[in-house]
Amino acid sequence: MTIAQPATRPANPRFSSGPCAKPPAFDLANLADAPLGRSHRSAEGKARLKAAIDRTADILGVPEGYKVGIVPASDTGAFEMAMWNLLGERPAEMLAWESFGAGWVTDVVKQLKIEAEVKTAEYGEIVDLASVDFDKDVCFTWNGTTSGVRVPNGDAIPADRKGLTLCDATSAAFAQDLPFEKLDVTTFSWQKVLGGEAAHGMIILSPRAVERLESYTPAWPLPKIFRLTKGGKLIEGVFKGETINTPSMLAVEDYLLALDWAESVGGLKGLIGRADANTAAVTAFVEAHDWIDFLATDPATRSNTSVCLKFTDARITDGATFAKAVAKRLADEGVALDIGAYRDAPAGLRIWCGSTVETSDVEALLPWIDWAFQAEIAAQTEAA
């Protein structure tokens, strides 16, 4: 049985949740001005790095007095650096609702071995934030990339908390409002919402986080790559573009171009609007079809970037095999690349709806999901 294919294909089939699609205007030729073969400590190199920091702070609306730095090893580097420098001064609460948050739990419980209460939620849900003791240090992921949930707002975090909040915001930054006054550490990587290159991470510190860094020395050793203080004082250079080690100036140039593009679509508001429009297109599709649903159960905590879907049709005999087969059909047709659910997550599809994705491409993809679903149901029935 042949199922008719939709007439239109997405102009860009790249819906991966990381590295994410480059900005629509991206052209490798535009990187020609990168100061390649020059020292990152030259005046020109430092100016580029400082511009990346200043423009990030400006677009994200980071408050005065916060520090923004470029660090090695992408978001993982930034978040582990934060945990290794700051935790251990007081007990911690570790909140996890998907694979990456679970990874930070392992770091704290098995590697740092500090006193920590672990609170987890099933894929598709988040922990009840009202139950969290913010007088402890609290680590959490703002947007669960592998489960398609997000923290709706910072209301549950008290302004007068005694602990620090460490927030992995890698799949949220630039597509969701982040309440920086409630976040003492915010980390993200360039490869997500702005479609930059991997390798570098960003860390944003509140004045309270800086105070902790300058008043507390962890009991464990810190490798040079993690060190943010010297002689009990913040290494200010890291927050002015004097990176800890050598960065890729090509990646820096690419990030600066992504920031240009971000400004051209209206800055943070425009970026959020684009992700919201993409997610709205998926929502309309899900509501119109009774065989597919969001993994995120509550619309208030549903992500607008990493949109995770599950198949709910009772005819499906093996969920994981079915979802993989659908994703493969879409990839083979060249209409959607890399949209299978994350390896540790429940079976399904994950469509990146972040700001670099064009709504017209999401709209063009959706009828193909219908096609691939029908084709796979037919193939399963024929095989039975």
Contacting residues toward ligand PLP, per CB under 6 A: 18, 74-76, 100, 141, 145, 168, 170-171, 189, 191, 198
Type and span of the H or E element at 82: helix 74-86
CB 109 within 8 A of CB 138: no
Residue by residue, DSSP assigns 219-231 as: SS---GGG--EET
Nearest distance in Å: CB 173, ligand PLP: 11
CB 328 within 8 A of CB 313: no
Q: Among residues 329 and 350, whose Cβ is nearest to ligand PLP?
A: 350
Structure tokens at 342: 């994350």
Nearest distance in Å: CB 74, ligand PLP: 3
Q: Among residues 31 and 102, whose Cβ is nearest to ligand PLP?
A: 102
Nearest distance in Å: CB 199, ligand PLP: 8
Nearest distance in Å: CB 197, ligand PLP: 10
CB 369 within 8 A of CB 360: no
Nearest distance in Å: CB 154, ligand PLP: 17
CB 148 within 8 A of CB 306: yes
CB 74 within 8 A of CB 199: yes
Q: Among residues 19 and 319, whose Cβ is nearest to ligand PLP?
A: 19
Q: How far apart are the first and last CA of the chain?
A: 14
Q: Among residues 275 and 372, whose Cβ is nearest to ligand PLP?
A: 275
Q: Among residues 274 and 350, whose Cβ is nearest to ligand PLP?
A: 350
Q: Burial code of 182-218, b = ≥16 C-beta within 10 A, e = fewer?
A: bbbbbbbbbbbbbbbbbbbbbbbbbeebbebbeeeeb
Which class for 264: exposed (0-12), middle (13-18), buried (19 or more C-beta within 10 A)? exposed
Q: Among residues 329 and 356, whose Cβ is nearest to ligand PLP?
A: 356
Closest CA to 270 of 58, 18, 59, 26: 59
Q: Among residues 259 and 316, whose Cβ is nearest to ligand PLP?
A: 259
Q: Among residues 275 and 316, whose Cβ is nearest to ligand PLP?
A: 275
The DSSP output letter for 112 is: I
Structure tokens at 362: 């999401």
Output phi, psi for 311, to 5 deg.
Answer: -90, 135
Please count the other Cβ atoms lying within 10 Å of the Cβ belonging to residue 223: 8
Q: Among residues 302 and 329, whose Cβ is nearest to ligand PLP?
A: 302
Nearest distance in Å: CB 366, ligand PLP: 24
Nearest distance in Å: CB 373, ligand PLP: 26
Type and span of the H or E element at 166: strand 165-168
Alpha-carbon distance of 265 to 263, in angstroms, equals 5
Helix axes 43-60, 267-288, angle to 10 degrees: 60
Alpha-carbon distance of 169 to 87, in angstroms, equals 18
Nearest distance in Å: CB 83, ligand PLP: 12
Q: Among residues 145 and 206, whose Cβ is nearest to ligand PLP?
A: 145
Closest CA to 283 of 272, 274, 292: 292
Q: Parallel, antiparallel, or unpaired for β 229-230 and 349-352? A: unpaired
Nearest distance in Å: CB 324, ligand PLP: 20
Nearest distance in Å: CB 62, ligand PLP: 20
